[in-house]
């Protein structure tokens, strides 16, 4: 499965993506570490290999859908996007995203997030996506707003980052929000 918009392509990660994934994370680590629980100075190739295996297992089980974000033109791995914490009884999930250093500030995250959200709404029948962003993470907040997500407030202890509970801005995205953002954007 591949989903594409402009020069942004998302697809499930493959074994051969482990080294590019590791390299993208290592170069972006200073920007990612404050926000993401899995980003750590000792992140290594084995972590990337394990992540890809876990993503494939989740995909097969239908419990989460993680995608690599790539340049459609060059094939370079730019980041990741996914739908996690699926709640099929309420037809909802959490939308997550991160970008490597080379893709930050170029609209890649917003495009990838739109593609993943559209997949969730159209292919999985979801009706609500939640985006949790720490208030200090301005780049991720801009992505949420750009794709049409609505801020619902602050979730206390909504995220655990490096073992510590953190508050997060809670945004929701429903199909109409994404459609409006697509026509306005």
Tally the residues of the chain. Answer: 185
User: What pLDDT was estimated at residue 30?
Assistant: 75
User: What pLDDT was estimated at residue 103?
Assistant: 79
Give me 76's structure tokens: 């370079």
Average pLDDT, rounded, for the chain: 91
**pLDDT per position as a tens digit, 43-99:** 889 989 999 999 999 999 999 999 999 999 999 999 999 999 999 999 999 999 999
Task: Give the integer Cα–Cα distance in Å for 88 and 100.
Answer: 31
User: What pLDDT was estimated at residue 54?
Assistant: 93
Is the pLDDT assigned to residue 157 strictly greater than 80? yes
User: What pLDDT was estimated at residue 82?
Assistant: 96
User: What pLDDT was estimated at residue 185?
Assistant: 55
**CA separation (Å) from 107 to 5, 94, 116, 135, 151?**
11, 20, 14, 20, 20
User: What pLDDT was estimated at residue 17?
Assistant: 96
% of residues, the chain, pLDDT over 70:
95
Task: Give the integer Cα–Cα distance in Å for 149 and 178.
Answer: 7
Task: Give the integer Cα–Cα distance in Å for 75 and 155.
Answer: 37
Q: Where are the alpha helices (DSSP H) in 10-127?
A: 18-32, 45-61, 108-123
User: What pLDDT was estimated at residue 81?
Assistant: 97
Give me 170's structure tokens: 């809670």
**pLDDT per position as a tens digit, 13-52:** 999 999 999 998 888 877 777 666 666 777 889 989 999 9
Confidence category of residue 105, pLDDT binned at 50, 70, 90: confident
What torsion, rounded to 10 degrees, do the Cα atoms 48, 49, 53, 55 define? 20
Confidence category of residue 183, pLDDT binned at 50, 70, 90: low
Residue-wise burial string across 87-123, b where 16 or more C-beta atoms lie within 10 A, e elsewhere? eeeeebbebbbbbbbebeeeebbbbbbbbbbbbbbee
The number of CA neighbours under 13 Å toward the Cβ of 138 is: 1
User: What pLDDT was estimated at residue 119?
Assistant: 97
Task: Give the integer Cα–Cα distance in Å for 151 and 111.
Answer: 19
């Amino acid at each position: 499965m591949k989903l594409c918009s402009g020069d942004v392509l998302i697809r499930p990660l493959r074994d051969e993506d482990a080294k590019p994934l590791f390299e993208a994370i290592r170069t972006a680590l200073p920007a990612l570490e404050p926000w993401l629980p899995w980003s750590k100075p000792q992140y290594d190739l084995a972590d990337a290999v394990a992540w890809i295996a876990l993503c494939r297992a989740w995909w097969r089980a239908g419990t989460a859908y993680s995608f690599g974000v790539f340049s459609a033109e060059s094939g370079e791995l730019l980041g990741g996007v996914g739908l996690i914490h699926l709640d099929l009884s309420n037809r909802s999930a959490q939308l997550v995203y991160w970008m490597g250093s080379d893709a930050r500030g170029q609209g890649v995250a917003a495009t990838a997030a739109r593609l993943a959200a559209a997949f969730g709404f159209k292919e999985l029948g979801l009706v609500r996506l939640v985006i949790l962003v720490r208030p200090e993470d301005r780049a991720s907040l801009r992505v949420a707003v750009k794709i049409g997500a609505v801020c619902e407030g602050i979730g206390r202890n909504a995220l655990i980052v490096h073992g510590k509970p953190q508050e997060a801005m809670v945004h929701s995205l429903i199909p109409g929000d994404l459609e409006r953002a697509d026509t306005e954007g």
